[in-house]
Structure 1
Amino acid sequence: MKVIRTYRKGEDSRENTGKPPYSRLLSHILPLFKQYRYRLMLGFTALLAVDFLQLTIPRLLKKGVDSLAAQTATPDSLLYYSVFIIIIALAVTCLRFVWRYTIIGFSRYLERAIRNRIFNHILKMDEAFFEKRTTGDIMAHASNDLTAVQMACGMGLVAAVDALVMTIAAIGFMSMLHVKLTILALLPMPFLAIFTRILSARLHRRFNTVQEQFSLLTEFSRSTLASIRLIKAYTMEKFQTTEFDKLGRKYVKSNIEVARVQGLMFPIATLVGNVGMMIILFFGGRLVVRGDITMGDFVAFITYLYMLIWPMMAIGWVTNLVQRGITSLSRIDSLMMERPLLDDPPGEKVVSDKPVFSLRNLSFCYPSSNRPVLSDIALELGPGIHGITGRTGSGKSTVCKILARFYPVEDGSLFFEGRDVNTLSLDTVRSHIGYVAQEPTLFSRTIGDNIRLGLPDASDEAVEKAARLAAIHDDIMDFPKGYQTLIGERGIKLSGGQRQRLALARALLVDRPVLLIDDGLSAVDVETEHEIFARLKEHLQGKTVVIVSNRLKLLTMTDHIIIFEEGAIAGDGRHEQLLEENSFYRAMFTKQMREDIV
């Protein structure tokens, strides 16, 4: 017996938890830098112009102070210096707006582009991916992690460039005034570099923990809100609140650990700057007293050193932003490196009004399990209505999921119109299939929008026709707004049977050659179920229909019944034939008939 270990395929990319290379991380953002290069060039030109203008102010102060000290200053000369400084300040204001608009704006474009890529990538993933990752974790990647990347590529990048330019320029101007004094002022700098390196490593680890805690918190909130009826039914509000508080406390604790590291960076940078200022006051003051430098030189030197304190402080801030950005980009990279187990080859397009599925010795086990769910299934599913029944866990729903191409299968085990499905694109097969699950997925939109999901441009008449076929039209019209009724999160305003019939109407609207109903009428009463089936039998003439159900009264109306037992076919044929030849089917039928009489 062959059993497919489908989870092996692409396993390395998912299980590799090592730190990704920086070249791969940069590949996510560098194309965007290239795309917006002219915008960035304008922004950084404005930023450099701001730095240059700021660095000219100490030169003006030097001239003004020297003229005052030499008693050569006049009201006109002082007015000239003051007006010039005001003009510079106005120019700096305008240029700051330019670089903020261009560079910070770029970071938002980058955020949008990566978010779209994440969303598009997630839509391409298969069932195995969503079995492994929670919704909260995915949402954290597209929110918190993406914000950290945006900050690193926006304000982090600006601060880094600004700090680098200001540091080099300020040190250059200080050296022009007095080289030895500049060296003395920079003596504390190596200590700052050492502390920054130590703290950065700790920050990376702790911020990664913060993001993981945020994912857990988000997923807990989502699952609680999605299951609010169940929470209330079991009076679990207090328990859920307590659990949420525990997660919140862990998240806060992790953030406090990050804040502790961040809290050390800024004071250390400030301390280094102030130590440099103390050195200048002591040694520079002595130079002024001895006449080695002028009072204007001393004032300009202090001003430049004051400008140098910002880059020193920025080191800690930039390091924080960059480490957060790298950590979050690594998490996003791990998500983007996930690959679906299902191959999606271009494949030749198949167009058929009467498609046939052929299962040839098909065996299957789910990616997260080693236990075979299907074993050597041989089956032909062509035009007509096929009923599938069997005990719980016998593989009924798995067959529907495989036909709908939710999971991969081995080559040569599943054919569509005589062609191996692994040679056809996923869209080619799925575009022929309407699918109704036992637990239908509905959106917090109107009833009409939910029915139109597969055919957004469908007319009102087509929507109403599909609703009538699914026996849901009268229920819809009982609502004050009819098809414009908002049904709430996951269809909370509807009953279980109404949700299933709405999902059936959605599948009928697209009118595809294949219809899979995976126990999709289980919440509908028997009378309504028979009414629906009677309508469908006429409407679905010539189509391939597969209905999974344990209601044998329904299955007696099908053309062909297949019985599953522990992942294998235990019998197939028409109702009368199975009633005579299959003991399990006969016992099941007798039991249900007795229950109906009682």
Structure 2
Amino acid sequence: MANKKVFDVRLLRRLFSFARPYKRSFYGSITMTVLLAILSPVRPYLIQLTVDKYIANQWIQALITVSIIQVGLLLLETVVRFLFSYLTNWLGQSVIKDLRVTVYKKISHLNLAFFDKTPIGTLTTRTINDIEAINDIFSEGLISIIADVLMIVAILAVMLVQDWRLTLISLSPFPLLILATYIFKESVNKSFYQVRNAVAALNAFVQEHITGMVVVQAFSGEKRESVKFKKINREHRTANIDAIFAYSVFFPVVEIILASSLGLMVWYGANQVLNYQVTQGVMIAFIMYLNMLFRPLRVLADKFNTLQMGMVACERVFKVLDSDEYLPDTGTLTAQNLQGAITFEHVSFAYKADDYVLKNISFEVKPGDTVAIVGHTGSGKTTMISILNRLYDVQQGHILLDGKNIRDYKLSEVRSRIGVVLQDVFLFAGSIYENITLRNPAITREMVENAARLIGMHEFITQLPGGFDYAVMERGSTLSLGQRQLISFVRALLYNPAILILDEATSSVDTESEMLIQHAIDKLISDRTAIVIAHRLSTISKADKIIVLDKGEIKEMGTHEELLKKEGFYFKLHSMQFKKVADKI
């Protein structure tokens, strides 16, 4: 499996397609590779000539000339090595920059069903660690391996031309080197697989538990989670130590084999020198050739492993890019003039096949009406607004906007005309102004301030240090739940949606915040269609229509007064809630 990954031509061809915009750098690095292979055996050969001819015959002028040439060659080789290293690394960084943007765009367009089953830490690993490993294919992998192989071939060719017998004697320990290299490659490759898996597990665990640290601490779970983390971290350490052990064994073995080659070469070559069959210059050149030969051989197996792990990372990244878990965006209609009429026609939806969360839902909403959806936890209220916003596609039935199938609209058009205020408001790290505008350049500060005044949030924001430029911590942890809700209301108002969805917008807030939020809701739902989901029935009693859900089915539908008269599901919910309030009082 591993060897197949290294020489997976399909993957390499696809990866190198990202290098097309940088073909000059690619061809430049290949040119430097060929130059290095040509230049490598030249200096030892010049030293051989110097010893055998110029020093032996005391040709001082020729000796000075060849010395200057050698210095020039050394400088040239240094420049070529610099260009090779710089170009390959520049090429790798440029490719992974484009690839990372491509992966991020792909992830941002995948549907929510993908994120429901994929840990965020795993996607973080794909976007950062795996793509960084792909960079090694360019900087330390394929191109570098080609350079080393060309150098080895060039040096071997020169050695065989110089003295094939001395070459074969010198390289007689090579089978041991090949065996050691194979064992090292397999051992390190296995360790690297374990390291990659451990890194993904670490990322997933740390991201999940830092995000949910409130829950961990609230339930005194620090020690239990610490034990889990130690286990994952121990596996990561063990995998790395296995790789370190392989390196610690391999490199001394290579040195011993090199020493054996040099010893055999000196033993055989000395006899040949004494018999005047080999010159002293050839002996000196061969010592240099062997050192130059073993230098790339020391790291060749390591580079193969680097290439191998890069290919594994490449396969994982392309697996994300090849994911077809996105909503088809084949619609052509625009929604600029959307009036806000909503129709559900026998809609059924399941997150998992045949496990329907919504069952045969049908209702109509007129433009400008306010519809409230109530029901016990798990009845399908949030799912209903998720499919209305096309975060998921329904399996059965149709959803119509202004009488047209929601799939006939462009996806971006639908979402731009539907505003959503969730129960758990997500705020990004940045200023309040950036969180309200979501960095939309079309929204001016004046528009933001006017919207904040209308919602009743302007005074609070201006009292913060920096006002609208106040730095919000990640997820808005420095603001109360009610304040975060009001900021999301300002955001929704600025985008001026035709349809507004309020999901549990007044749950879990104090009475004062609820009054502010209720005022904001009144402003928001004015002259637009509104879907309101709330546990507190007092906040939806003025709705034009109330839909009562239970286990994914509509049990009742009507106004507040109509449903109370029926003394059915809604009546029971209403009675239970007001009984709880009375008991508290």
Task: Calculate the TM-score normalised by the size of structure 1.
Answer: 0.90
Contact kept in structure 2, 1:504 and 1:520, CA below 8 Å? no
Contact kept in structure 2, 1:269 and 1:316, CA below 8 Å? no
Q: Distance in 2 between matches of 1:65 and 1:539?
A: 92
Q: What amino acid is the match of 1:353?
A: L
Deviates more, 1:440-449 or 1:187-196: 187-196
Contact kept in structure 1, 2:137 and 2:307, CA below 8 Å? yes
The alpha-carbon distance between structure 1 residues 324 and 589, as it changes in their structure 2 partners (threshold 3 A), is same
Deviates more, 1:324-333 or 1:486-495: 324-333
Deviations 1:424-465 (A, max 9, x none): 332132121111111111111111111111744312232123
The reply to whether residue 55 of structure 1 matches residue 41 of structure 2 is yes
Question: Which of 507, 517, 520 matches 2:492?
Answer: 507
The alpha-carbon distance between structure 1 residues 352 and 202, as it changes in their structure 2 partners (threshold 3 A), is farther
Contact kept in structure 2, 1:121 and 1:336, CA below 8 Å? yes
Deviations 1:111-135 (A, max 9, x none): 2111111111111111111111112
The alpha-carbon distance between structure 1 residues 415 and 27, as it changes in their structure 2 partners (threshold 3 A), is farther
RMSD of aligned alpha carbons: 2.5
Counterpart of 1:381? 365
Counterpart of 1:38? 24
Question: Which of 284, 305, 308 matches 2:293?
Answer: 308
Counterpart of 2:459? 474
Counterpart of 2:8? 22
Q: Distance in 2 between matches of 1:324 and 1:382?
A: 58
Q: Distance in 1 between matches of 2:473 and 2:523?
A: 33
Secondary structure, in 3 states, of the residue corresponding to 1:442?
coil
The reply to whether residue 73 of structure 1 matches residue 58 of structure 2 is yes
Deviates more, 1:343-352 or 1:126-135: 343-352
Question: Which of 384, 391, 394 matches 1:406?
Answer: 391
Q: Distance in 1 between matches of 2:80 and 2:34?
A: 9
CA displacement at 1:229 relative to structure 2: 3.5
Question: Which of 422, 427, 431 matches 1:437?
Answer: 422
5 Å-filtered alignment, 1:271-420, equals: 271-367=256-352, 370-383=354-367, 384-410=369-395, 412-420=397-405
Deviates more, 1:394-403 or 1:203-212: 203-212
Contact kept in structure 2, 1:200 and 1:323, CA below 8 Å? no
Q: What amino acid is the match of 1:255?
A: N
Q: Distance in 2 between matches of 1:283 and 1:41?
A: 43
Identity between Structure 1 and Structure 2 (%):
28
CA displacement at 1:73 relative to structure 2: 1.8
Q: Distance in 2 between matches of 1:489 and 1:293?
A: 74
Q: Which has the higher contact order (CA 8 A, sep 6+)?
A: 1
Q: Distance in 2 between matches of 1:491 and 1:116?
A: 26
Secondary structure, in 3 states, of the residue corresponding to 2:346?
strand
Counterpart of 2:123? 138
Deviations 1:572-591 (A, max 9, x none): 11111011014221222233
Q: What amino acid is the match of 2:40?
A: Q
Deviates more, 1:585-594 or 1:444-453: 585-594
The reply to whether residue 86 of structure 1 matches residue 71 of structure 2 is yes
Q: Distance in 1 between matches of 2:110 and 2:245?
A: 39
Secondary structure, in 3 states, of the residue corresponding to 2:530?
strand
CA displacement at 1:88 relative to structure 2: 1.4
5 Å-filtered alignment, 1:451-466, equals: 451-453=436-438, 455-466=440-451
Counterpart of 1:148? 133
The alpha-carbon distance between structure 1 residues 358 and 273, as it changes in their structure 2 partners (threshold 3 A), is farther
Secondary structure, in 3 states, of the residue corresponding to 1:413?
strand
Task: Calculate the TM-score normalised by the size of structure 2.
Answer: 0.92
The alpha-carbon distance between structure 1 residues 434 and 19, as it changes in their structure 2 partners (threshold 3 A), is farther
Secondary structure, in 3 states, of the residue corresponding to 1:36?
helix
The reply to whether residue 554 of structure 1 matches residue 539 of structure 2 is yes
CA displacement at 1:278 relative to structure 2: 2.6
Contact kept in structure 2, 1:207 and 1:327, CA below 8 Å? no
Q: What amino acid is the match of 2:140?
A: M
Deviates more, 1:425-434 or 1:22-31: 22-31
Deviates more, 1:157-166 or 1:522-531: 522-531
The alpha-carbon distance between structure 1 residues 469 and 47, as it changes in their structure 2 partners (threshold 3 A), is same
Q: Distance in 1 between matches of 2:186 and 2:316?
A: 17
Q: What amino acid is the match of 1:378?
A: S
Q: What amino acid is the match of 2:166?
A: L
Q: Distance in 2 between matches of 1:157 and 1:589?
A: 69
Secondary structure, in 3 states, of the residue corresponding to 1:523?
coil
The alpha-carbon distance between structure 1 residues 23 and 342, as it changes in their structure 2 partners (threshold 3 A), is farther
Deviates more, 1:245-254 or 1:519-528: 519-528
Q: What amino acid is the match of 2:246?
A: V
Secondary structure, in 3 states, of the residue corresponding to 1:517?
strand
Listed as ranges, the gaps of 5+ residues in structure 1 are: 1-17
Deviations 1:196-246 (A, max 9, x none): 445434443432221121122122222333233444444444444443333
The alpha-carbon distance between structure 1 residues 32 and 371, as it changes in their structure 2 partners (threshold 3 A), is closer
Deviates more, 1:108-117 or 1:495-504: 495-504
The reply to whether residue 250 of structure 1 matches residue 232 of structure 2 is no
